[in-house]
A and B are shown apart, each in its own frame.
Chain A
Amino acid sequence: MVKLNVNGVDHQIEADADMPLLWAIRDIIGLTGTKFGCGMAQCGACTVHVDGEPTRACQTFIGDLDGRKITTVEGLAGKVAATVQKVWADLDVPQCGYCQSGQVMAATALLTANKKPTDADIDAAMSGNLCRCATYHRIRAGIHEAAKRLEA
């Protein structure tokens, strides 16, 4: 039995400590916004926040998370996240959308830490999140637009 706090809710997970957080979130807790893309922290589709830090759920093990606060896209809240999500819709950033919850998690963490990221900041913070539809042009534009709206 492993204890997990996800989106402010405590869960008792009946699984071994080596289960990746990704599968605990998706298959045991039943939150499907966090996606499986590669299983080895290469694509970022499974990005969640652990104590606010963007983290790859596929390479994070539930036994290591006692006392940590996990936030998935379903539990994302606050002005930065809401602005990012609104901009994503206004600019029609997503295409297939499969990577986008991970992109939104990463973008929210970036804008929380850096109010006015440059293109280079964005490339550095977001290059772990693959988008096979290559919506990168709009992801960049979206982050700049969100920064602008948050400043206003």
Chain B
Amino acid sequence: MLPKMMQRLAQPVLDAKPTRRRFLLGAAAAGTGLAVGFHLPGKRAAANSGVAPAAAGQPFAAYLTIGADGKVTILSSQFEMGQGAYNGIATLVAEELGADWNTIEVQGAAGNVKLYGNLAFGGAFQGTGGSTSMASSWERYRLAGAAAREMLVAAAAAEWKVKPEEIRVAKGILSHPSGKSSGFGPFAAKAATLPVPEKVALKAPKDWQFIGKSDLKRFDSARKANGTERYTIDVKLPGMLTAVMIHPPYFGAKVKSFDATAAKAVKGVVDVVSTPRGVAVVAQHMWAALKGRDAVTVTWDESGAEKRGSDAIIASYKDIAGKAPQAVARKDGDTEKAFASAAKVLEATYEFPYLAHAALEPLNAVARMNADGTLEIWGGHQFPDVYQAIAAGIAGTTPDKVHLHVMKSGGSFGRRAVFDADVIAEAVAVAKAIGFKAPVKVQWTRENDMQGGRYRPAYVHKVKAGLDKDGKLIAWADHIVGQSIMKGTMFEKGMVVGGVDPTSVEGANNLPYAIPNQTIGLTTTEVGVPILWWRSVGSTHTSYVGEAFLDEVAAAAGKDPVAFRLSMLEPTSRHAVTLKLAAEKAAWDQPLPAGRFRGVALAESFGTVVAEIAEISVDPRGGVKVERVVAAVDCGTAINPDQVKAQVEGGVGFGLGAIMDEAITLANGQVEQSNYDAYRPLRIDAMPKVEVHIVPSTNPPSGIGEPGVPPIGPAVANAIFKALGKRIHVLPLSKGLSA
């Protein structure tokens, strides 16, 4: 549901209104090919010019260019962090353009919100998140491809003196029944001089060649298998230095003073500087920086430090959860009256820990100030406009002088979508602190990354359900307690309404079930631990509560978990259809072999409905192994079904790791985990077999990067109840099973 809310947010906060005028794309100076772009809202073709991507060092100013060599370069508004956004967008362009897949390249674009604003967020903000990449790109990139095709055809028709409608375009070849044919290259320059069609027709779904099929493989797979894919960590510039950060030992502490005498004696250490976020050791290479770091002594100002432990934080949340909520996110019917009349009332309190994103590539960024006053930054630019503005502020320049090179990142899961630019701000600050005398790469260590905050917030839910004498669920109350992700950020003004941060309650205040009386309450806490969205955001905890507690309710009512859910869903709804598909594929109505147990969960997030059925076994010592997961997903049009499956498979593994064994804990304000030995994401030996079934749909695409995550936790917890008769209210399971 985030995208819908984002629309509300984007306009007032960022104030970049779409204009009706034609949008002119840069200078035509280079004139080597065709470039296509549209103004917002992306409905109508606008203009073109022959601008080449590298023209005069300007930001990319279009959605695609076709070179004289016929090569198609797509400029992606969406950041690639592994989720396959580049492939999805390339598929949309290829479908309409008739391009040869092997000649397509995708590059990240940034720095022009009018071109690259996320349409699912209202268009006034460029960002990748909320599983919106395909929703934002669905029309924009198909229109770009279609317009480019029409212009190429017009150019060829004029040259060949034939009717444009007689020209066919497929696999990068323009051809005419007379036998004339050509690649795109020879007509690219001519096409660029033609007017952009006022209106382009998109293919009817029945004519799709690629969309809805799995034929187009990711073009980065081979590069990723042979080590040639480049990430920010691989950026090497002439004279570049590498910096390692020493961050404060507590959130909220600051540098008071430091002694770098010994560090500066380490071979390869160039400088040791203070920045607003910590001390940086700048060196010729990473190893020298690490050795230098170990030789620095820092004295910290701890006056503003958060020194509570996570146990104390959770204990205070539990206390708050028993009181009336600060705000009400949803109120249907009369919950109090319904509870009073209920034949049976169930209650439970759930505890969720902080979670780290722990992407494999620790955060990093490279900053270089050029002689002409432009500042270049290489990084995982998930919120590019924000980073451009913050970098400009630190460097003392204007955002238009900041050029972002959008690198692919080794995972993110939300971590690189930050309000304060984080490591990007550090790279600029360190470069500035050494007088911009050399390009600087700031490379976090795993310890920096894991102890750097921006966690999935810890939450407590106190939940209550009431059944009538027939076992019908008549009342539901959920009081959510935890920090607000948006409070204190640029999103607060547009998004936090009536004290309710939508990311705290999403998944809880839109339960799909017909429950006549429900109250979803929220109390937002103030804790000095920095937090952030983490793959599937609010639904990481709300869906666990909703679906695990609903399973308790079904058991109390003596009903089958699938049948109980279906009894509260409109039979033709997406939720019911998806749940029924999962149940059918998992043979829910058939008995399991001895020693196997299963649980079900259903969740909607980011416009996509996913049902998952987890099958587990339990070893004699009570160890739980998830053997198999059957998922059904309705994500609207599946642009590439195999990539949809890949995201759900990965989402299951990502979510399962968190539920099983991940937790960030603090002892007296200090994070106790620093590396993968103590913070333990899923490994291959705990990965179940995963089957993904896609509900056929003609709706526009909704999200797929995140929605595979929410149902896995409750599905496994519900299977554990079947196996062990135990309800898991404290996460992770490694803790909850022994609680």
**Which of B179-187, B193-201, B403-411 participates in binding chain A?**
B403-411
A134 x B286 contact (CB < 8 A): no
Measured CB to CB, the nearest residue on chain A to B233 is: A36
List A contacts of B675 (CB < 8 A): 38-40, 42
Q: How far in angstroms is the closest Cβ of chain A from B446?
A: 4
Binary contact track A47-91/B, C-beta < 8 Å → 1, others 0: 000000000000000000000000011101000000011001110
Given contacts A33-B226, A33-B228, A134-B682, 18 further A-B contacts (CB under 8 A): A20-B287, A27-B285, A30-B236, A32-B227, A37-B362, A85-B226, A89-B221, A96-B361, A96-B408, A96-B409, A101-B227, A104-B225, A123-B685, A124-B685, A126-B684, A134-B681, A136-B683, A136-B687
Measured CB to CB, the nearest residue on chain B to A134 is: B653
Q: How far in angstroms is the closest Cβ of chain B from A104?
A: 5
B220 x A97 contact (CB < 8 A): yes
A28 x B217 contact (CB < 8 A): no
**A134→B446 CA distance, assembly (Å):** 18
Chain B stretch 619-659: residues in CB contact (< 8 A) with chain A: 642-643, 646, 649-654, 656-657
Chain A stretch 16-40: residues in CB contact (< 8 A) with chain B: 16, 19-20, 23-24, 26-28, 30, 32-40
Contact partner of A72 (CB less than 8 A), chosen from B227, B229, B267, is: B227
A94 x B221 contact (CB < 8 A): yes
| Contacts A27-B287, A35-B233; A136 near B642 (Cβ below 8 A) | no
Can you pick out 11 interface pairs between chain A and chain B where the beta carbons lie within 8 Å of each other?
Answer: A27-B285, A32-B227, A35-B361, A42-B446, A76-B226, A88-B221, A88-B225, A94-B220, A95-B83, A97-B408, A130-B676
Q: How far in angstroms is the closest Cβ of chain B from A140?
A: 7
B361 x A137 contact (CB < 8 A): no
Chain B stretch 673-692: residues in CB contact (< 8 A) with chain A: 675-677, 681-685, 687, 689-690
Binary contact track B212-230/A, C-beta < 8 Å → 1, others 0: 0000011011111111111
| Contacts A94-B221, A96-B411; A23 near B286 (Cβ below 8 A) | yes
The verdict on A5 contacting chain B, using a C-beta distance below 8 Å, is: no
Q: How far in angstroms is the closest Cβ of chain B from A90?
A: 7
Q: How far in angstroms is the closest Cβ of chain A from B287?
A: 4
Complex A-B, nearest 4 residue pairs according to Cβ-Cβ distance, in ascending order: A33-B227, A134-B653, A98-B410, A96-B82
Contact partner of A92 (CB less than 8 A), chosen from B227, B646, B685, is: B646
B410 x A134 contact (CB < 8 A): no
The verdict on A116 contacting chain B, using a C-beta distance below 8 Å, is: no
List B contacts of A129 (CB < 8 A): 684
Measured CB to CB, the nearest residue on chain B to A87 is: B225
Q: How far in angstroms is the closest Cβ of chain B from A55?
A: 16
| Contacts A20-B287, A23-B285; A94 near B653 (Cβ below 8 A) | no
The verdict on B91 contacting chain A, using a C-beta distance below 8 Å, is: no
**A73→B222 CA distance, assembly (Å):** 12
The verdict on B445 contacting chain A, using a C-beta distance below 8 Å, is: yes
Measured CB to CB, the nearest residue on chain B to A28 is: B285
Interface of A is mostly: loop
**A130→B360 CA distance, assembly (Å):** 8
**A74→B285 CA distance, assembly (Å):** 21
Total interface residues on B, CB under 8 Å, equals 62
A36 x B286 contact (CB < 8 A): yes
**A84→B227 CA distance, assembly (Å):** 13
Measured CB to CB, the nearest residue on chain B to A38 is: B446
| Contacts A27-B285, A40-B677; A93 near B362 (Cβ below 8 A) | no
Measured CB to CB, the nearest residue on chain A to B682 is: A134
Measured CB to CB, the nearest residue on chain B to A98 is: B410
The verdict on A4 contacting chain B, using a C-beta distance below 8 Å, is: no
**A96→B189 CA distance, assembly (Å):** 35
**A66→B334 CA distance, assembly (Å):** 77
Measured CB to CB, the nearest residue on chain B to A31 is: B227
**A97→B221 CA distance, assembly (Å):** 8
The verdict on A139 contacting chain B, using a C-beta distance below 8 Å, is: yes
| Contacts A32-B230, A132-B411; A96 near B359 (Cβ below 8 A) | yes
The verdict on A6 contacting chain B, using a C-beta distance below 8 Å, is: no
Interface centre among A26, A30, A38, A95 (most CB of B within 10 A): A95
The verdict on B84 contacting chain A, using a C-beta distance below 8 Å, is: yes
Chain A stretch 92-111: residues in CB contact (< 8 A) with chain B: 92-101, 104
Chain A stretch 117-148: residues in CB contact (< 8 A) with chain B: 122-124, 126-127, 129-140
Measured CB to CB, the nearest residue on chain A to B217 is: A92
List A contacts of B653 (CB < 8 A): 133-137
A97 x B410 contact (CB < 8 A): yes
The verdict on A15 contacting chain B, using a C-beta distance below 8 Å, is: yes
Q: How far in angstroms is the closest Cβ of chain B from A77?
A: 11
Chain B stretch 73-91: residues in CB contact (< 8 A) with chain A: 81-84
Interface centre among A20, A40, A140 (most CB of B within 10 A): A40
The verdict on B115 contacting chain A, using a C-beta distance below 8 Å, is: no
B690 x A137 contact (CB < 8 A): yes
List A contacts of B23 (CB < 8 A): none
**A94→B411 CA distance, assembly (Å):** 11
Interface centre among A34, A38, A42, A100 (most CB of B within 10 A): A38
Measured CB to CB, the nearest residue on chain A to B359 is: A132
**A30→B233 CA distance, assembly (Å):** 12
B287 x A89 contact (CB < 8 A): no
The verdict on B242 contacting chain A, using a C-beta distance below 8 Å, is: yes
List A contacts of B226 (CB < 8 A): 33, 73-74, 76, 85, 101, 104
The verdict on B737 contacting chain A, using a C-beta distance below 8 Å, is: no
Q: How far in angstroms is the closest Cβ of chain B from A20?
A: 7
**A84→B226 CA distance, assembly (Å):** 10
**A139→B683 CA distance, assembly (Å):** 12
The verdict on B231 contacting chain A, using a C-beta distance below 8 Å, is: yes
Contact partner of A42 (CB less than 8 A), chosen from B222, B409, B650, B677, is: B677
List A contacts of B682 (CB < 8 A): 134, 136
List B contacts of A32 (CB < 8 A): 227, 230, 233-234, 236
List B contacts of A73 (CB < 8 A): 226-227
List B contacts of A16 (CB < 8 A): 267
The verdict on B272 contacting chain A, using a C-beta distance below 8 Å, is: no
Measured CB to CB, the nearest residue on chain A to B225 is: A88
Measured CB to CB, the nearest residue on chain B to A90 is: B217
Q: How far in angstroms is the closest Cβ of chain A from B10?
A: 27
The verdict on B728 contacting chain A, using a C-beta distance below 8 Å, is: no
A132 x B229 contact (CB < 8 A): no
**A45→B287 CA distance, assembly (Å):** 17
Measured CB to CB, the nearest residue on chain B to A20 is: B287
List A contacts of B687 (CB < 8 A): 134, 136-137, 140
| Contacts A37-B362, A92-B217, A137-B690; A100 near B225 (Cβ below 8 A) | yes
**A88→B413 CA distance, assembly (Å):** 23
The verdict on B733 contacting chain A, using a C-beta distance below 8 Å, is: no
List B contacts of A74 (CB < 8 A): 226-227
B681 x A132 contact (CB < 8 A): yes
Contact partner of A140 (CB less than 8 A), chosen from B287, B652, B684, is: B684
B287 x A132 contact (CB < 8 A): no
| Contacts A96-B360, A98-B360; A138 near B646 (Cβ below 8 A) | yes
